[in-house]
Structure 1
Amino acid sequence: MRKTFFFVFVISILSISMFSCSSLKNYKYFEDIPDTTKSTNIAEAIYKEPVIQSDDILYIAIQTVDPLAGTTINSVNNQTINSTTSIVSSNAITGNQAAIYGYLVNKKGIVTIPVLGDIMLAGLNTAQAKDLVTKRAENFYKNPTVIVRYANFRITVLGEVQKPGTFTVPNEKVSLLDALGYAGDLTIYGRRDNILLLRRKDDGTTLAVRLNINNSSVLKSSYFYLQQNDEIYIEPAKTKITGSDASQARNITIVTSALTVLIVLITRIK
């Protein structure tokens, strides 16, 4: 009798442990980092500034001693002038359908700026573009201060996240974790160990990379920082139905109930 009870007790403990451990293994980020109060140093990924591409929208502004001198150029950032110089988008991060205006980089990589004319900016980062626009502006303005930044740095997050969609972000240094945060984080069904990153290349091909945020090595991956128009897909786990907390609790209850009935039957038989 005692052996029987001991056997059933061991099975119960193993069943509960199996469900619990599975939950932690599937859902915990950076599980290789020790659970300790001591700090852990992790090498950081090298950030490479994205380069301007055709169809990007740029915020370009000029400031001078005379506040009205750059009005013609700066007004494009606030209202639509024509289809060749500006475009409307939406701010998906805040959920507001606020219009975003700016200078459109055409298919040839050229931006048409009032007063300054056509400037080739494709292939440059924003710092290089700023220098180039400044040199052109010095021909028309005295000691101009130029601002160049992305107005539509977009990333797309799809799959098992709380809020899938395309997000227009206010800066160009965006990490994988930032993107998941914009999308409301992964659901409990999303695979943390097999995140798919799709990146369009200049030659027309698409680069596909798999990332694992269960391990801290992703923090130093060359793909940790995202580029303009990157797409992230979160694959659902094969055990999506049984992987939820509610399903685990139900399974534990069923196993426990079955074992209880078994114990009662064994007791009565003995």
Structure 2
Amino acid sequence: MSTAHYLVQTRFTPLQPYMRNTVYFLLFLLFATSCVTKKELVYLQGERLNRNTPTDFQSNFTAYKLQPNDVLSVKVLSIDPEMSSMFNIINPNSAFGVSDPGSMYMSGYTIDTEGNINLPVIGKVKVLGLTPTQAQELIQTNLNRYITDATVVSKLISFKISVLGDVKNPGHFYIYNERANLLEGLSMAGDLTQGANRDNVKLIRQKGENSQIILLDLKDPNLVQSPYYYLMPNDVIYVEPRQTQLKRDNLIVLTTILGLISTGSLLYNVFK
């Protein structure tokens, strides 16, 4: 055996078991922390749910009450276009006249701090605390004093939600359904990622000048009975990552660092 071969064998033999054991240990930790069970991913679990029989849950939907800074689109339709045109900011025959949310906002009527909207000819109409349907009926009643055979169509166009955190496509989304629910809002953001925590989804909701933070469990089938199951304008949904996901990410970083250290030690011994 040559002297060079002996030195190389002597220097590297003690390092090999240590490096091999370290790699095995890190791979074991990575596998252990990466395991995701079905119970962590499935929505609306529970013994109450039957495979072939529908399970009824009582709905707690409450119609939204208009607040200051909400924006209403108000359109008047009648057989006399000239008469109805004075009430409309834009042509009412073009799908509410707009296609993007910015234009919808500019063409709507913003509720002021006193709860009023200021309509042409009619003047101020107090809609604070009314549902969108009740506001439409009130505007119709006021309109009947000025024009007959006309129909008012009023819609809330400032229904926007924000979805943040561990979802595939976070962002803000406009809702065109007054009975949209939490799962629909999450689906607009592309659903949760596999590493998302389904036990503690945070819902931030505006209540007048205050904000409420509610923790919701997507795995609980009783979620559909919660008063927070249905979305409201300006809701913010935040999905946090699971602890196992954080541990896995940290372990990947640790594995990379130890790999660099091992490689550096190996190169050091080679060139030394």
Q: Same fold (TM over 0.5)?
A: yes
Matched, 1:177 2:183: yes
Q: Which amino acid aligns with 1:152?
A: S
**Residue from 78, 91, 112 that aligns with 1:64:** 78
Higher helix share: 2
Contact preservation (8 Å) 2:70, 2:156: yes
Q: In the TM superposition, what are the counterparts of 1:121-270 in structure 2 within 5 Å?
A: 121-202=127-208, 204-241=209-246
Contact preservation (8 Å) 1:33, 1:216: no
TM superposition shift of 1:117: 1.0
Contact preservation (8 Å) 1:54, 1:107: yes
TM superposition shift of 1:190: 1.2
TM superposition shift of 1:68: 3.2
RMSD: 2.9
Shift in CA distance, 36/150, structure 1 to aligned 2, threshold 3 Å: same
**Residue from 38, 54, 57 that aligns with 1:24:** 38
Contact preservation (8 Å) 1:188, 1:243: no
Query: For this pair of structures, how many residues does the alignment match?
Result: 215
Which of structures 1 and 2 has the bigger CA Rg? Answer: 2
Unaligned 5+ runs, structure 2: 1-28, 93-97, 253-272
Shift in CA distance, 208/215, structure 1 to aligned 2, threshold 3 Å: same
Contact preservation (8 Å) 1:45, 1:224: no
Residue aligning to 1:259 = none
Aligned partners of 1:98, 1:113: CA distance in 2, in Å?
18
Q: Which amino acid aligns with 2:230?
A: Y
Contact preservation (8 Å) 1:60, 1:74: yes
Residue aligning to 2:13 = none
Contact preservation (8 Å) 2:34, 2:244: no
Residue aligning to 1:40 = 54
TM superposition shift of 1:115: 1.6
Residue aligning to 1:267 = none
Name the SS for the 2:39 alignment partner.
helix
TM superposition shift of 1:243: 6.4
Shift in CA distance, 218/243, structure 1 to aligned 2, threshold 3 Å: farther
Shift in CA distance, 89/192, structure 1 to aligned 2, threshold 3 Å: farther
Aligned partners of 1:69, 1:201: CA distance in 2, in Å?
39
Aligned partners of 1:111, 1:54: CA distance in 2, in Å?
10
Q: Which amino acid aligns with 1:154?
A: K
TM superposition shift of 1:74: 2.2
Name the SS for the 1:74 alignment partner.
coil
Contact preservation (8 Å) 2:44, 2:220: yes
Q: Which amino acid aligns with 2:68?
A: S
Q: In the TM superposition, what are the counterparts of 1:87-102 in structure 2 within 5 Å?
A: 91=101, 100=105, 101-102=107-108
Q: Which amino acid aligns with 1:165?
A: G
Aligned partners of 1:108, 1:243: CA distance in 2, in Å?
52
Q: Which TM-score applies when normalising by structure 1?
A: 0.71
Unaligned 5+ runs, structure 1: 1-14, 79-87, 92-96, 248-270
Matched, 1:75 2:89: yes
Q: Which digits, 9 at most, give the CA deviation of each residue in 1:212-260, with x for residues without a partner?
A: 111111011111111111111111111115669xx9xxxxxxxxxxxxx
Q: In the TM superposition, what are the counterparts of 1:45-56 in structure 2 within 5 Å?
A: 45-56=59-70
Contact preservation (8 Å) 1:76, 1:102: no
Name the SS for the 2:228 alignment partner.
coil
Aligned partners of 1:134, 1:205: CA distance in 2, in Å?
32
Aligned partners of 1:205, 1:62: CA distance in 2, in Å?
35
TM superposition shift of 1:65: 2.4
TM superposition shift of 1:75: 2.6
Aligned partners of 1:41, 1:195: CA distance in 2, in Å?
24
Name the SS for the 2:174 alignment partner.
strand
Matched, 1:120 2:126: yes
Structure 1 runs (4+) deviating above 3 angstroms are 18-22, 33-37, 88-91, 97-100, 241-244
